[in-house]
Structure 1
Amino acid sequence: MSLIFILAAFLGFAQQKWDIKFYNEINGREVEIYADNNEFMPMSAVFEFTLSNMTSSLANGHTVVIPPLTKKFLVSRVTVNKPNSGNSFSYTNTYNFGDVTASAHDDSYIYWLPFETGKTKLIFQGYNGKFSHQGAAALDFSLEMGDKVSAARDGMVVAVEQSNNRNCPDISCARFNNNILILHSDGSFADYSHLKQYGSVVKPGQKVTRGQHIGYSGNTGFSNGPHLHFSVFHNTIDGKRKYIKTRFRTTGQEAEILEEKKSYHKNY
């Protein structure tokens, strides 16, 4: 009789605990590895197998993307090579949110300024800013406490954090950030951050349109004053975001890259 020893370890790169589960089922001389993804967005995982007299249908280091709201998604089938010999396998698993194989951004899309019509806001800190945007294509808009935040692009809300009420001008306070995460049609995400406590008016699974009111500005997390932090990115398996510079419609231009220390008026 063949003996199968299973040892699995799961590592998630994120502050948030994502609602995804990996599990095994034995089917004759095969072991099938499944995933239940209860998130409204795809999740990506990478497996590393240690095999003795067994073969996995999923190669070591290969990324598998689990579709949103999916039950019993087959990740890998592990089979015995020689039926009359001993066998064993173990694996480790790393996962993160989004389809990490997606890298193309719809550069033709024109984003809208993420605040109310009739308002003028300054870019406190622009792309690759010195305070906290080193290596990050992110924008800090001068929204005040309680100002309305609008969606810059159509998409689906996939995560909301709004329970925090703390801030400080140090990276150690990043865990206290309130934010809304929106998935776009090209697989990219928009992050609207530093929202006020209970400052979201949307929930995961909700579709939003460009210009729609989604929340209220605040001063939570890694922040030294009220503002809206906005960025667009593709995610990676290790959580190192691949940021994207985006073009916005402004009063003066149909599409332009916003610059630090400049103010922009929204008349639409």
Structure 2
Amino acid sequence: MRWWLVVVCLAACPGPAADQQQPYIEPMASPSRPRLDDSLIEFRFEGGQIEFEVWRQGSRVTQLARNRYAVPLVMRWAIPTFANLTPLTPTEGVIVLPAADKPSGTSQSLVLAEFEIIDTAYRYRREISYRAKFGDPRARPEDYAYRLPYPTGLTFSVLQGFHGTFSHRGSNEFAVDFDCPVATPVLATRDGVVIASNAAAQGAGTTSEYLDY
């Protein structure tokens, strides 16, 4: 399954039309009291999600991200489009979001970018895009003899191994496909914690539309 996603999120405050600006009628947040202007949930499976939040304090706007999975996430993000805002920090980057304390648990919010509102009498707008996947690229693997993913004593042929030309590309390049009959128990190959599940992946087939199953 490919875990990299590309999603565009729109802020709750759309930008003014070029020929007719409408006053921003909501009261400004007090400089000493931040206000949540926008929130969005993405990359959601059983076990966690990514949460994006935009906080405003006076004329300062801060884009945050938080990881609810029990493992770190690496995310490439960008804010390529914005209106009525001046960037105070870079508008793109790569960040590792720390793991939550448990599946769907709590974790630290990290700042992605900060902006200054040009004219607080009018609405502001920004778009954010991202790609994310599980893991921390700074982690280093340990040598480990993995068990086979089915009960001891059974033997099955390998249909497709590493770098298989049919579907083992990208995040699946080191996958191994075994020729097992339906209802064969699938076992963990080493001790660990299930971090996410996707009950929607019920399809099967040999054509391109099934590459993510």
Give the TM-score range, shorter chain: 0.5 to 0.7
Distance change >3 Å, CA 104–CA 173, structure 1 → 2: same
How far apart are the structure 1 equivalents of 2:131 and 2:111?
13
Tell me by how many angstroms 1:166 deviates: 3.7
Query: Which of 153, 158, 162 is matched with 1:118 structurally?
Result: 153
Task: Provide Cα deviations, 1:151-197, integer angstroms capped at 9, x if missing partner.
Answer: 1123221111235544222121345x3xxxxxxxxxxxxxxxxxxxx
User: 1:38 aligned to 2:75?
Assistant: no
Q: 1:55 aligns with which of 87, 91, 94?
A: 87
- The 2-side partners of 1:102 and 1:156 are apart by 19
CA contact (8 A) 2:160 2:176 kept: yes
Does residue 187 of structure 2 align to residue 155 of structure 1?
Answer: no
Matches within 5 A, 1:97-116: 97-99=133-135, 102=137, 104-116=139-151
- Alignment partner of 1:20 is 2:50: yes
Query: Is the 8 Å Cα contact of residues 128 and 134 (structure 1) preserved in structure 2?
Result: yes
Q: What is the Cα deviation at residue 50 of structure 1?
A: 4.9
Q: Which residue of 1 aligns with 2:95?
A: 64
Q: Is the 8 A contact 1:54 1:89 kept in 2?
A: no
TM-score, normalization by structure 1: 0.49
Is the contact made by 2:41 and 2:49 (CA closer than 8 Å) also made in structure 1?
no
In the other structure, the counterpart of 1:193 is none
Contact (CA 8 Å) 2:65, 2:112: kept in 1 or not? no
The aligned residue for residue 245 of structure 1 is none
- 8 Å CA contact retained: 2:98, 2:107: no
Listed as ranges, the matches of 1:205-244 within 5 Å are none
User: Larger % of strand: which?
Assistant: 1
**Aligned-residue CA RMSD (Å):** 3.9
Change (3 A) 1:169 1:9: farther
CA gap 1:116/1:56 in 2 versus in 1, 3 angstroms: farther
2:56 corresponds to 1:29: no
Say if 1:127 and 1:31 are closer, same or farther in 2 by CA, change over 3 A. Answer: same
> Does residue 1:172 correspond to 2:204, yes or no?
no
- Count of equivalent residues: 168
Counterpart AA for 2:52: F
Which structure 2 segments of 5+ residues have no match?
Answer: 1-12, 16-37, 101-105
1:33 Cα deviation after fit = 1.9
Gaps of 5+ in 1: 178-268
Q: Matches of 1:9 and 1:23 in 2, distance apart?
A: 4
What is the letter of the counterpart of residue 46 of structure 1? W
1:5-42 residue CA offsets vs partner (Å, 9 max, x unmatched): 77699896x79696222121111232122234333333
C-alpha distance in structure 1 between counterparts of 2:112 and 2:201, whole Å = 39
154-163 or 43-52, which deviates more: 43-52
Shift of 1:83: 9.6
**Partner of 2:131 in structure 1?**
95
Q: Percent identity?
A: 23
CA apart distance, 1:116 = 1.1
Distance 1:27 1:83 in 2: 14
Measured after TM superposition, the shift of residue 97 of structure 1 is: 3.0
Shift of 1:54: 2.8
